[in-house]
Amino acid sequence: MAKSEMTYADAICRAIEEEMAKDPTIFTYGEDIAQQGGIFGQYKGLLGKYDDRVIDTPISEEVIFGSAVGAALAGTRPIVEFHFADFLFTGMSAITNQIMKIRYMSGGQRDLPIILRGPDGRSNNAAAQHSQSIESIFMHLPGIKVVIPSTPADVYGLYKTALNQPDPVIVFEHKQMYGRKGMVDDEEYRIPFGKADIKRAGTDITVVTTSRMVHESMQAAAELANSGISLEVIDLRTLVPWDRETVINSVKKTGRLLIVHETWKRAGWGAEIASVVQEEAFDYLDDPIYRVGAKNVPNSFSPEQENFIMPDKENVLAEVKKFLL
């Protein structure tokens, strides 16, 4: 199949544009998206094509998020930009108490096709209020599907699914990945939710990860391969639902599990994966399950401190040493 190289940001735009062409009720809005194509340029690819469906808003997060419910129930398919995952908190109730509950509270009367999307995670030296990864919260509270892709090909296929299904979805796009390039099939395709991707097959240790940490883990795996340690790197791609089967089968094979995420280690989503795996594959585990995550403090502005707080390849390598191989 023919493929083209494109950035993560452009892969998203391509998916949205294709679907906008088919479905005139898709529109997108948020802060700073229409004039300059998003604060990370992530909307640039859409500008000029559907300008009446790419809309700037005031700084009013509670309405930005809550409006999605009204828009969906009025018969449209809104894609809402949240600007920074950190500012999901400024309209949090509209998400947790409205978007995530109204279908259930109504007894399932109608579909609620909403996409919340935006940048999650570290952006260098942006300090405590602009570098949080908060996807774990949406795995805990029920009511939204959680997508957290690591490559242009994945983000394209997952958007195509998101834009053709009936439920609220939140897409965490990592700030540092918008410019990352990769090959994407020229033909349209969808990637189902709940299907992990084994980014690298291996035999010694299963690594479960997402987003930017997929790449850090892959680098660690490449290095470890030189010393004869074989990592199987599983990219979950979606956290709600998450692919238990692929993870558990891998752990049954390797006997070892390391979970790697950028968000805080304490009570992060890795804890859920660890809890389920130790329950379902107890007899297969040769070692404890280890987790890599950010240190449990807010992010510091000072560069060295940020590097220390935020996990990367080095932390993966260090943690692997704990396994009794």
Partner 1 sequence: MDITKEKLIELYEKMVLIRSFEMKAEEKFYNNEIPGFIHLYIGEEAIATGIIDHLRKDDLITSTHRGHGHMLAKGADPKLMMAELYGKRTGYCKGKGGSMHIMNFDLGVLGANGEVAGGLPIAAGAGMAIKMIKKTDQVVVAFFGDGASNRGAFHEALNWASIYNLPIIFVVEYNQYASTVNSNFATSVDNIADRAKGYDIKGITVDGNDLLEVYETAAEVISAVRNGSGPVLLECKTYRLKGHFVGDPQEYREDAEVEKKWKDEPISKFERYLMEKDYLDDETKNEIWSKYTKVIDEALEYARNDSFPTAKEALTDLFADDTGYDY
Ligand X SMILES: Cc1ncc(C[n+]2csc(CCOP(=O)(O)OP(=O)(O)O)c2C)c(N)n1
Judged by the rule CB under 8 A, the positions of this chain that interact with a copy of itself are 86-87, 89-90, 92-93, 95-97, 100-101, 104-105, 127-129, 132, 134, 136-137, 139-143, 263-264, 266-272, 274-275, 278-280, 282, 285, 287-291, 296-298, 300-301
Q: Per CB under 6 A, does 243 bind ligand X? A: no
Residue 60 neighbours by CB under 8 Å, 6+ apart: none
Q: Per CB under 6 A, does 55 bind ligand X? A: no
Q: For residue 241, is the peptide bond before it cis, meaning its omega torsion is within 30 degrees of 0?
A: yes
Please give the residues from 32 up to 61 whose contact with partner 1 meets the rule CB under 8 A. 32, 35-36, 39, 52-53, 55-61
Distances (CA, A) of 180 to 176, 231, 307: 8, 23, 20
Is the CB of 44 or the CB of 295 nearer to ligand X?
Answer: 44
Q: Per CB under 6 A, does 59 bind ligand X? A: yes
Q: Are 203 and 240 spatial neighbours (Cβ–Cβ below 8 Å)?
A: no
Which of a copy of itself, partner 1, ligand X, none is residue 57 near (CB under 5 to 8 Å by kind)? partner 1
Q: Are 210 and 133 spatial neighbours (Cβ–Cβ below 8 Å)?
A: no
Q: Residue 302 Cβ, how far from partner 1 at the closest point, in Å?
A: 4
Please give the residues from 25 up to 44 whose contact with ligand X meets the rule CB under 6 A. 31
Q: Residue 209 Cβ, how far from a copy of itself at the closest point, in Å?
A: 16
Told to judge if 130 belongs to the known catalytic residues of this protein, a careful annotator would answer: yes
**Orientation angle between helical segments 152-162 and 8-22, nearest 10 degrees:** 30
Q: Residue 67 Cβ, how far from ligand X at the closest point, in Å?
A: 15
Q: Residue 202 Cβ, how far from partner 1 at the closest point, in Å?
A: 28
Is the CB of 205 or the CB of 260 nearer to partner 1?
Answer: 260
What does the buried/exposed string (b/e) look like for 231-246 if buried means 16 or more CB atoms within 10 Å of the residue's CB?
bbbbbbbbbbebbeeb
Q: Per CB under 8 A, does 93 bind partner 1? A: yes
Q: What burial class does residue 175 get, using C-beta atoms within 10 Å of its C-beta: 0-12 exposed, 13-18 middle, 19+ buried?
A: buried
Which of a copy of itself, partner 1, ligand X, none is residue 192 near (CB under 5 to 8 Å by kind)? none
Please give the residues from 87 up to 146 whose contact with ligand X meets the rule CB under 6 A. 87, 90
Q: Are strands 145-147 and 238-240 parallel, antiparallel or unpaired?
A: antiparallel
Q: Are strands 181-185 and 3-7 parallel, antiparallel or unpaired?
A: antiparallel
Is the CB of 98 or the CB of 151 nearer to a copy of itself?
Answer: 98
What does the buried/exposed string (b/e) look like for 37-52 if buried means 16 or more CB atoms within 10 Å of the residue's CB?
bbbbebbbbbbeebee
Piece in contact with partner 1 (CB under 8 A), picked from 67-75, 150-158, 250-258, 284-292:
67-75
- Among the listed residues 102, 267, 285, 317, the single contact to partner 1 using CB under 8 A: 102
Binding footprint of ligand X on the chain (CB under 6 A): 31, 59, 61, 83, 87, 90
Q: What are the residue numbers of the active site?
A: 130
